[in-house]
Amino acid sequence: MCAYCERVVAERVITLDHVTPRRGQSAYDRRDNLVLCCRLCNAAKKDRSFLSFLLERPARAASLLTHGDHLSHMLIDLVHQIAGPEAVARAKRLADPDYPYSD
């Protein structure tokens, strides 16, 4: 599943995106800087900053609340701010294994 748009993507065509663009530096090839994403989102993001990509469509930040919990604390804080308090509360509810509903 794409971490940005939640599109279900076949394993053979899903891509890895560097959340913070690497610009030729291997230091950014860490797990806390990578997410699975579809080709459309990866092409749309290119080498743009994470902030501008999420601000263009805040629903991407809401998706990352669910699919990006492994990201660095700095990136998670940014995602929370962009997604907003309602999206953060919803993600917490859905992450609770005892929550009986699917919003």
* Cα 95 off chain centre by: 15
pLDDT digits (tens, 9 = 90+) for 38-95: 999 999 998 888 899 999 999 999 999 988 889 989 889 999 999 999 999 988 888 8
Residue 79 lies in a domain: yes
How many domains would you assign to the chain? 1
Mean pLDDT in residue range 26-31 = 74
DSSP secondary structure string, 10-79? -TTT-EEEESS--TT-GGG-SGGGEEEE-HHHHHHHTT--HHHHHHH-THHHHHHHHH-TTS-HHHHHHH
Per-residue pLDDT for 29 more than 90? Answer: no
Residue 71 lies in a domain: yes
Q: What is the pLDDT of residue 25?
A: 66
In whole angstroms, give the CA distance from residue 31 to residue 71.
7
Q: What is the pLDDT of residue 59?
A: 93
Domain of residue 33, residue span: 15-95
Per-residue pLDDT for 15 more than 70? Answer: yes
Residue 36 lies in a domain: yes
Residue 84 lies in a domain: yes
